[in-house]
A = this chain, B = another copy of it.
Amino acid sequence: MPSHTQQLTTIGLVRSPFKEAAGMPIQPPFAEGTEGIVEVFPEYADGLHDLDGFDRIWLLYWFDRAPSPRLRVVPFRDEVQRGLFATRAPCRPNPIGLSCVRLLRIEHNLLTVGGLDILDGTPLLDIKPYVPGFDAFPQSRAGWLENQRAGRVLADDRFGPDGSRSSGGPRSELD
């Protein structure tokens, strides 16, 4: 299996009210009332210039409490197995999370953000500006999620470290 080792650098930490996955909103739109702090380590603060003009930012982070990767999962918003890459589940070959959060204010190296769906203490890998021209495609068809919009909006423990409710079906060879 081709692979390469890369040194990923933690550039900060996410501070959120969520100490465990169960009960956490599964995506930012379901976490509108939730504020948190993105602490960017001081040596990277110079890279935050000009970010205050953006309403939203992408956070890329390391799912440090995700279980082993598997290629079929029962996602939070469904009751049947789906292909992993058709879901946003954390148990990925490269467990990198992606969330679009609201940028409320910046004070030095601390970003106050709204709509946070990330566990407290999560290592931050990158921040990118949200640019509608690059990122917003509101009419895009969303597969199995099309009919799930009124469904579940909070996580349970199915992707928790014990993995006890992690699949409900056969696991992939990667698990």
The residue that A93 contacts in the complex, of B1, B11, B86, B143, with Cβ under 8 A, is B11
> Are the CB atoms of B141 and A53 closer together than 8 Å?
yes
User: CB distance A10 to B5 under 8 Å?
Assistant: no
A48-B100 Cα distance, complex, nearest whole Å = 23
Assess whether A84 is interfacial by the CB under 8 Å rule.
yes
The count of identical subunits is 2
A139 shortest CB reach to chain B, Å: 7
Residue of B nearest to A149 (CB): B133
Of the candidate stretches A16-24, A123-131, A154-162, the one touching chain B is A123-131
Asked whether, in the complex, the Cβ of A137 is within 8 Å of the Cβ of B137, the reply is no
Say yes or no: is A104 at the interface (Cβ < 8 Å to chain B): no
Q: Is the CB of B60 within 8 A of A46?
A: no
Interchain CB contact under 8 A, B8 and A94: yes
Which B residue sits closest to A11, measured CB to CB?
B93
Known pairs A135-B100, A137-B132, A143-B129; A4 contacts B93 (CB<8 A) = no
**A98 interface hit (Cβ, 8 Å):** yes
Q: How far is the CA of A50 from the CA of B73 in the complex (A)?
A: 11
- Residues of A near any B CB (own CB < 8 A): 1-11, 27-29, 40-41, 43-44, 46-58, 60, 62, 71-72, 82-88, 92-94, 96, 98, 100, 123, 125-146, 149, 172-174
